[in-house]
Amino acid sequence: MKIAAITDDGKTISQHFGRARYYLVCTVEDGRVTGQELRDKAGHHSFAPHQGTDHHASGPHGFDPASRDRHAQMLSVIADCQAVLAGGMGFGMQRNLEEVGIRPLLTDVADIEEAVRAFAEGRLAVRPDLAH
């Protein structure tokens, strides 16, 4: 199984999916991490300006066609992953992950290795309330 964690430093889980610059992809076999790979991640820094989208409209954002296109670009690099760890993400990204078969795991655990280990052992505290 491959689990991606959004990160800016390769060690901690970023709090905002769209702003993170990297994925740390961890390969888990028999409940233990057997490999790690840092991958570049497109994000808000890659898509400027966001004209013509509802990203900052009142209510949930990330559901307009332009957002879906950006989300698809962000997710293409982790198409081989089954789950993604994040400290927070928009409802649109959460839905897009689910649609492509990647399980969004929102958590307040900051350390990537700790979160991956907890998930592999079935004890990761998942926080759906961290979606916005």
Domain that holds residue 21: 2-130
Instruction: Using alpha carbons, list the distances in angstroms from residue 89 to 32, 33, 35.
Output: 26, 25, 25
Structural domain count, the chain: 1
- Burial group, residue 44, by CB count within 10 angstroms (0-12, 13-18, 19+): middle
Cα atoms found within 13 Å of the Cα of residue 101, Cβ hemisphere only: 7
pLDDT in tens, 29-63: 998 899 999 999 976 555 455 444 444 455 555 66
Q: Is the pLDDT of residue 65 over 80?
A: no
Average pLDDT of 85-112?
A: 94
pLDDT for 73? 78
What CATH number should be reported for the domain holding residue 34?
Answer: 3.30.420.130
pLDDT band at 104 (very low <50, low <70, confident <90, very high): very high
